[in-house]
Amino acid sequence: MTKTSLKKYLNLGGFLNFLKGLVENRRIIYELVQKDIKNQSLGSFFGITWSFVHPTVFILVLWFVFSTGLRGARSAGEAPFILYLIAGLVVWNFFSAALITGTMSIKQNSFFVQKMVFRISMLPVVKILSALVIHSFFLIVMIIVYIAHGYFVDIYYIQLLYYIFATIILTLGISWLTSSVVLFFPDLLQIIQLVVRIGFWFTPIIWMIDRVPQKYQIFIKANPAYYLVMGYRECLLYKVWFWEHPVLTIYFWLFTLFIFAFGSILFMRLKPHFADVL
């Protein structure tokens, strides 16, 4: 493939305009995020409260089961198991919720496809930022739990912003890919949900990676969610900077940027056909 044909295939100019359009429409994105959060309050008596109740109950149940019922999983080194558990669950819930809602963002808002002046590439962004609002609440709860156990806020907490940004970029790239493909292959949603369920158990959220034989740990670490889950713990619990794991950090960003670029390019190439399948 020649340099000219490769440039045409990748449409690098269109890719940059694609990203530029998101920045230029940041005010519209902000307004859509507000509207999306309000829409979550419709249709039930407690409204958006359920978005907080479900993960909270899930965390409490897992904490009870693995900290009290299964005594073999009670501790995480010197720290109480709840601290290890909540750090992993909070970021995983953000990642999984953003991924699933981002996947369905175009299909559930098909009326926007007919509006030529509307950038439908913003819809996955809106869903991810809506999930971020819920995530912010659990971040506050998590920090309070850590403080209650004697783990006070320090300079390492600033890395949470880095890992939140990393989660957003990874999820956005995947969501651009899945939200466009699911229109042509509806079963993809079921596959995504299955992968999320399996991924929960294959990511060290409720168990510790040091219990896995060394020769198998490389497969666990190949999962980009591992980098995010352990990153939160290293901010709050272990006090480790992200650059202290250079190989893992480089791998994560190479994978993430590839998915981000590939997802956005595929979205642009499939976009002209969205109206035909909706």
pLDDT by residue (tens digit) across 212-247? 888 889 999 999 999 999 999 999 999 999 999 999
**Chain length of the chain:** 278
Residue whose C-alpha is closest to residue 224's, from 189, 249, 205: 249
All residues at 6 or more sequence positions from 226 whose CB lies less than 8 Å from its CB, including other chains: 203, 204, 209, 220
Residue whose C-alpha is closest to residue 48's, from 31, 26, 33, 64: 33
Q: Is the pLDDT confidence value at 118 over 70?
A: no
pLDDT of amino acid 18: 61
All residues at 6 or more sequence positions from 163 whose CB lies less than 8 Å from its CB, including other chains: 91, 228, 231, 232, 235, 242
pLDDT of amino acid 115: 66
Torsions phi, psi for 75 (to 5 deg):
-115, 160
* 3-class DSSP state of 106: coil
Torsions phi, psi for 191 (to 5 deg):
-65, -45
Please name the helix (run of DSSP H) or strand (run of DSSP E) that holds residue 79, with its range, or none.
strand 79-80
Q: Which tokens belong to 62?
A: 């897992």
Contact criterion met (CB below 8 Å) for 51 and 134: yes
Please name the helix (run of DSSP H) or strand (run of DSSP E) that holds residue 180, with its range, or none.
helix 159-181
Average pLDDT, the chain: 82
Contact criterion met (CB below 8 Å) for 125 and 23: no
Q: Is the pLDDT confidence value at 135 over 50?
A: yes
Report which listed range, 10-14, 53-57, 66-70, 186-190, is most confident.
Answer: 186-190
CA distance 204 to 210: 10
Q: Which tokens belong to 185?
A: 């292959």
CA distance 199 to 54: 19
CA distance 274 to 10: 20
pTM to 2 decimal places: 0.84
pLDDT digits (tens, 9 = 90+) for 173-205: 999 999 999 999 999 999 999 999 999 999 999
H-helix segments, 182-234? 188-202, 214-221, 224-233
pLDDT of amino acid 8: 45
